[in-house]
Amino acid sequence: MNSEICRTSFFLLTVALSGGESAAGLGSDFLRAEIQTYAPIVQKIFKYVVDGGYKNVTYDSLADFTDRFGSRLAGTRNLEDSIDFILEKSEELGLENVRGEDVQVPHWERGFEAAYLLSPRKTEIKILGLGHSIGTPPEGLTADVVVVDSFEELERLNSTNTDAIKGKILVFNEAYVWYGVTVEYRGRAAVEAGKYGAVATLVRSVAPFSINSPHTGSMNYAENVTKVPVACISIEAAEMLRRMVDRGSQVTIKLIMNAKEYGPETSRNVIAEIGGFSKPLEQVIISGHIDSWDVGQGAMDDGGGAFISWHSLIVLKNLGLRPRRTIRGILWTAEEWGYVGAKEYLNRHRSDLEKINFVMESDGGTFTPLGLEVAASDAAATIIQEILNLMGYINATQIKRYKSVGSDIELFINEGIPAASLLNDNERYFWFHHSEGDMMTVQNPQDMDKCTALWAAVAYVIADLKDPMPRR
Amino acid sequence: MNSEICRTSFFLLTVALSGGESAAGLGSDFLRAEIQTYAPIVQKIFKYVVDGGYKNVTYDSLADFTDRFGSRLAGTRNLEDSIDFILEKSEELGLENVRGEDVQVPHWERGFEAAYLLSPRKTEIKILGLGHSIGTPPEGLTADVVVVDSFEELERLNSTNTDAIKGKILVFNEAYVWYGVTVEYRGRAAVEAGKYGAVATLVRSVAPFSINSPHTGSMNYAENVTKVPVACISIEAAEMLRRMVDRGSQVTIKLIMNAKEYGPETSRNVIAEIGGFSKPLEQVIISGHIDSWDVGQGAMDDGGGAFISWHSLIVLKNLGLRPRRTIRGILWTAEEWGYVGAKEYLNRHRSDLEKINFVMESDGGTFTPLGLEVAASDAAATIIQEILNLMGYINATQIKRYKSVGSDIELFINEGIPAASLLNDNERYFWFHHSEGDMMTVQNPQDMDKCTALWAAVAYVIADLKDPMPRR
């Protein structure tokens, strides 16, 4: 059904348009006609993945993988073992150009860590140290607590008394607004604490809901600012400490963190492909990241995204669907350390960037898929909407447009490459994110099937369209 | 406004009815008239608690209490300290007949406990030992795992191979249906495990939702069945162990529990009253339990129920509202060990049972109040519905009827005493119940105000109605 007869060059047509008529307007009739020819192929993918022989495979294999390896912090042997496993399986399953590309990644381990409230009463406070945090002295450190709800409150407190923070454990009890905003507290807390002379800082977990669950994540130190240990505490604990301080109690905590930075290690971006039949040098990238934090199983962040990408390749391979362009699956390493794998990829493949037609990453949950989040020009978005109109079978026809989408692929978007992430019903994503709750229980086999089917279908159609996806 | 002129004897009237006419039918006009006279008093209570001088007091004082004492397991010094605190405050606030009544309660401590998955991979599995569980040997025990999803599966497994469970750690991965049904697994697991020769048992937490959160609770041993250690694991862990076993992996766990039973200790039921002005020997009881499990803060189970009961007394005292009958507030001890305080109360006060007009307990959350759950005769339920019709100001006019309601007060219901519990929007109650997440963050000041207002108003009206609440 890959007939070229019905297709025409949308890209050339829209370029030829004069100002009065919108690009989407005139072009979309031709575009629609071309894209409509893919309806039977999309149906074939859906039938196979959602109701046929591939039903439950994505979920079952992710469960096997995460049960086998657990969490996969970049820098650990465990991640490398899990990468070997994926490489071997990819070869076995007949994927093409299977390889790992070396990446130097940080190696940090949290070791033993604990916090004990000593006053006004004795109890343990659950913590999760943040990645790259320094440790405390081996015997721990004990200090009184100061609590602020915001950086502004911290400034005010320090401006009225420049000794207010000195020698203290600084607790941030910031309200959760949304992740992209509130995560600044996790990132900046250590620098702010160090700047004002705190001996350590504890940050309320960046999450909208909690069952006394701390969440880890990345943080930053700054040059010329004393480094202090930093960990997250639960929403419940942060609120409790705030109340205690507000009542005038002396609040004292003993903090022990054996966290330690080791030398860098070699990890790998995992690459496997379905080679294009007529334009093999042009690529559509589908991706997720294979590393995770060192808690839970990394089943959601980003086992789900990695596995729908990997299984999309296998599905297309099994169905004999080889598009014009190459579909390159990439499982990034060390995303959690700051897109380390993606940065290395970009450096290594800089001369190929022009050949990247479209880049996709799922790193925001693989719950019920609704469509795509898109960072692309109007013309590209129009094409993607037309493609999504084929996804009615699983009700995943929505498009949402953003300046940037995904995580690692932000780097590609900055290079002007059109991109998409998975739009899914991920309302509870940050309940589990970077916590012990990121386990297989959050995943659902039927939803994962739909995600894989959507992902495979979109990648295939884009990789097979006669003309490349228009850039900005 | 306590005019007797408008009121007539509903009880006598309904008794006089002949078969053809329903008790509620004829009586309700008179009843309505009597109850309607309380509308201004109910409004006064609402204005004071929800919008006036008592706004936020219930929440703030519960936060102070739970931050000060934390969890309050019966048998611990901590619970007794918290009881002393309530007794002192009750005296200070001018409540009447303030006293503690001694109760012998169990004393069990979990001590250090941990579980480690050794095969097919190494990771820690979070556990919470169950109350009264024996410990493992100090160095722990290590055994392979058998998983069943139900008692039926256990029977089948044992009937095909009587050695299947022997020497194993038996894991129950039962699905959550609803608490009252599923809790049987927590209660019976140790007996079933002991019966078939397991060395320990791990039970999936009885909860509908989890962020890898184990939940503790009570359990039973049986005479003539070998006692084995028992703990709960999270939903996530139970599902993972099931998957691992189903794949044919050898699953091995090392379990360490230093749990230990000590001799009984003396605790106290906490009693305080607003004495009745004309029928002081007749009582309406409002109650919650002051003990909690030894995790979280016991803020929800049952800090909320205890505090809306206690604050109801203080509200009535502050407003000068003294009803005909005595309102006796009781904060039960050792509810979590099986209604131990309530049983002792019943024994000690058996000769007074006839004088208990109505008994109320809130032990199912103090979220947005919706009305009352009632265990009572049709005639009593009709009266309660009429009273609830006064609660429109806070939209808490619903009645739901059950054979039994509350927890401790089940014992009173069995004696034929009409009873009510708080009907509230507690859909997430079992998400936090008996877990580390039972902290003040689950409570909301406005909801708690409404709960106290409703609770105080209902208790007052019932205690002041001319005739006693009809029994079954």
d(CA B331, CA B302): 10
Which H or E run contains B427? Answer: none
Is B273's pLDDT higher than 80? Answer: yes
Task: Place B30 in a pLDDT band, splitting at 50, 70 and 90.
Answer: confident
CA atoms within 13 A on the CB side of A12: 5
B68 interfaces chain A, CB cutoff of 8 Å: yes
What is the per-residue pLDDT for A28? Answer: 64
**Residue B335 catalytic?**
yes
Q: Tokens 């009958």 sit at which residue?
A: B325
**Beta carbons of A211 and B432 less than 8 Å apart:** yes
Is A21's pLDDT higher than 60? Answer: no
**Beta carbons of B441 and A235 less than 8 Å apart:** yes
Q: Which of B63, B239, B439 sits opposite A440 (nearest CB)?
A: B239
Q: Which of A68, A212, A441 sits opposite B121 (nearest CB)?
A: A68
B69 interfaces chain A, CB cutoff of 8 Å: yes
Chain B hits for A240, Cβ within 8 Å = 67, 297, 439-440
Sequence-ordered list of residues with C-beta below 8 angstroms from that of A330, at least 6 positions apart, any chain? A269, A270, A271, A285, A286, A287, A309, A345
Let me know if B318 is exposed, middle or buried by CB neighbors in 10 A (0-12, 13-18, 19+).
middle
Sequence-ordered list of residues with C-beta below 8 angstroms from that of A461, at least 6 positions apart, any chain? A35, A38, A41, A42, A387, A390
In a mutagenesis test of the A interface, which of B79, B211, B233 is the best target, namely the one with the most A β-carbons within 10 Å?
B211
Is B4's pLDDT higher than 50? Answer: no
**B469 DSSP 8-state letter:** P
**B415 DSSP 8-state letter:** T
Is B6's pLDDT higher than 90? Answer: no
What is the per-residue pLDDT for A6? Answer: 29
Which H or E run contains A405? Answer: none
d(CA B64, CA B72): 14
pLDDT single digits (tens) A349-366: 999 999 999 999 999 999
A-B C-beta contacts closer than 8 Å: 90
Minimum Cα–Cα distance from A434: chain B residue: B211
- For chain B, the average pLDDT equals 94
Q: Tokens 């708690």 sit at which residue?
A: B448
Query: Residue B169's closest CA among B198, B192, B141, B195?
Result: B198
Chain centroid, CA B239 distance in Å = 28
- Three-class SS state of A462: helix
What is the per-residue pLDDT for A27? Answer: 58
pLDDT single digits (tens) B56-87: 999 999 999 999 999 999 999 999 999 999 99
pLDDT single digits (tens) B185-241: 999 999 999 999 999 999 999 999 999 999 999 999 999 999 999 999 999 999 999
Task: Place A29 in a pLDDT band, splitting at 50, 70 and 90.
Answer: confident
Chain B hits for A211, Cβ within 8 Å = 210-211, 213, 431-432, 435-437
**Count of beta carbons in the 10 Å neighbourhood of residue B449:** 26
Is B27's pLDDT higher than 70? Answer: no
What is the per-residue pLDDT for A326? Answer: 98
Average pLDDT score over residue span A430-437: 98
**B414 DSSP 8-state letter:** T
pLDDT single digits (tens) B135-145: 999 999 999 99
Average pLDDT score over residue span B146-152: 98
Task: Place B29 in a pLDDT band, splitting at 50, 70 and 90.
Answer: confident
Chain A hits for B69, Cβ within 8 Å = 121
CA atoms within 13 A on the CB side of B129: 25
pLDDT single digits (tens) A357-401: 999 999 999 999 999 999 999 999 999 999 999 999 999 999 999
- For B288, the token pair is 């919650």
Is B28's pLDDT higher than 80? Answer: no
Is B310's pLDDT higher than 50? Answer: yes
pLDDT single digits (tens) A240-274: 999 999 999 999 999 999 999 999 999 999 999 99
**Å from A177 to nearest chain B CA?**
17
Task: Place A472 in a pLDDT band, splitting at 50, 70 and 90.
Answer: confident
What is the per-residue pLDDT for B472? Answer: 76
Task: Place B11 in a pLDDT band, splitting at 50, 70 and 90.
Answer: very low
Q: What percent of chain B has pLDDT over 90?
A: 93
What is the per-residue pLDDT for B321? Answer: 98
**Beta carbons of A67 and B239 less than 8 Å apart:** no
Task: Let me know: does A311 contact A294? Beta carbons within 8 Å.
Answer: no
Interface of A with B in 208-237 (CB under 8 A): 210-213, 235-237
B296 interfaces chain A, CB cutoff of 8 Å: yes
Give phi and psi for A325, each to the nearest 5.
Answer: -95, 165
**Beta carbons of A239 and B126 less than 8 Å apart:** no
Is B295's pLDDT higher than 50? Answer: yes
CA atoms within 13 A on the CB side of B28: 16
* Identified catalytic residue from B34, B113, B273, B335: B335
Is B10's pLDDT higher than 60? Answer: no
Chain A hits for B63, Cβ within 8 Å = 243
Is B20's pLDDT higher than 70? Answer: no
Let me know if B246 is exposed, middle or buried by CB neighbors in 10 A (0-12, 13-18, 19+).
exposed
pLDDT single digits (tens) A166-180: 999 999 999 999 999
Task: Let me know: does A355 contact A281? Beta carbons within 8 Å.
Answer: yes
**Beta carbons of B123 and A70 less than 8 Å apart:** yes
Q: Tokens 């006419």 sit at which residue?
A: B21
What is the pTM assigned to this prediction? Answer: 0.94
Interface of B with A in 111-140 (CB under 8 A): 120-121, 123, 126
What's at B414, amino acid-wise? N
B67 interfaces chain A, CB cutoff of 8 Å: yes
Q: Which residues of A are catalytic?
A: 335
The torsion of the CA quartet A163, A165, A169, A170, rounded to 10 degrees, works out to: 170
pLDDT single digits (tens) B407-452: 999 999 999 999 999 999 999 999 999 999 999 999 999 999 999 9
What ipTM did this prediction achieve?
0.94
d(CA A143, CA A200): 9
B429 interfaces chain A, CB cutoff of 8 Å: no
- For A413, the token pair is 């978007």
